[in-house]
Amino acid sequence: MTHPMSDEARVIPLRPAPARPRTPEPEPAPREPLWRDLVGEVLRRERQAQERTLKDVADEARISLPYLSEIERGRKEASSEVLAAAAHALGLGLGDLLSLAHGELSRRTAERRRPATVSHRPYQGLCLAA
């Protein structure tokens, strides 16, 4: 007596590997902010605070609108000439722009170093200096 052969393959399940105790992996160190991100955020914040459009600032700075948008989003590393033009279009000097970006970098760096147990909210008020 012969057995008819099946067209289906015979599957033999493999045993799962023994489970290893999972040790929690250390969290990766937070990424250092990129300068282009900081400068872009400052430009966008200043432009929006003045209630100006990208087109308005790009035209005044003589920068293409898509390029200014990419700078604001931190996608492009702009030259100092382009940054100065964008800053001047917003009524800032290049030094002002860089100082604001430095302040943002200092704030973020301090937040990363602050222990997680400390509950501290950053000051959101207005500071005037003479």
Q: What is the CA radius of gyration of the chain?
A: 28
Residue 115: C-alpha distances to residues 28, 32, 57, 82, 109 (Å): 16, 17, 40, 38, 12
Does residue 88 carry a pLDDT above 80?
yes
What was the pLDDT predicted at 128?
63
Q: What is the pLDDT of residue 109?
A: 86
Domain 35-112 CATH superfamily: lambda repressor-like DNA-binding domains (1.10.260.40)
- pLDDT of 113 higher than 70: yes
Cα four-point dihedral sign 102, 107, 111, 114: positive
Q: What is the pTM of this model?
A: 0.65
Residue 97: name the closest of 75, 113, 78 by CA: 78
Residue-wise pLDDT for 30-55, tens only, equals 778 899 999 999 999 999 999 999 99
Where along the chain do its domains lie?
A: 35-112
Q: Which of 13-22, 97-106, 114-123 has the lowest mean pLDDT?
A: 114-123
Residue of higher predicted confidence among 29 and 104? 104
What are the tens digits of pLDDT across the range 116-129? 554 556 656 666 66
Distance of alpha carbon 51 from alpha carbon 47, whole angstroms: 6
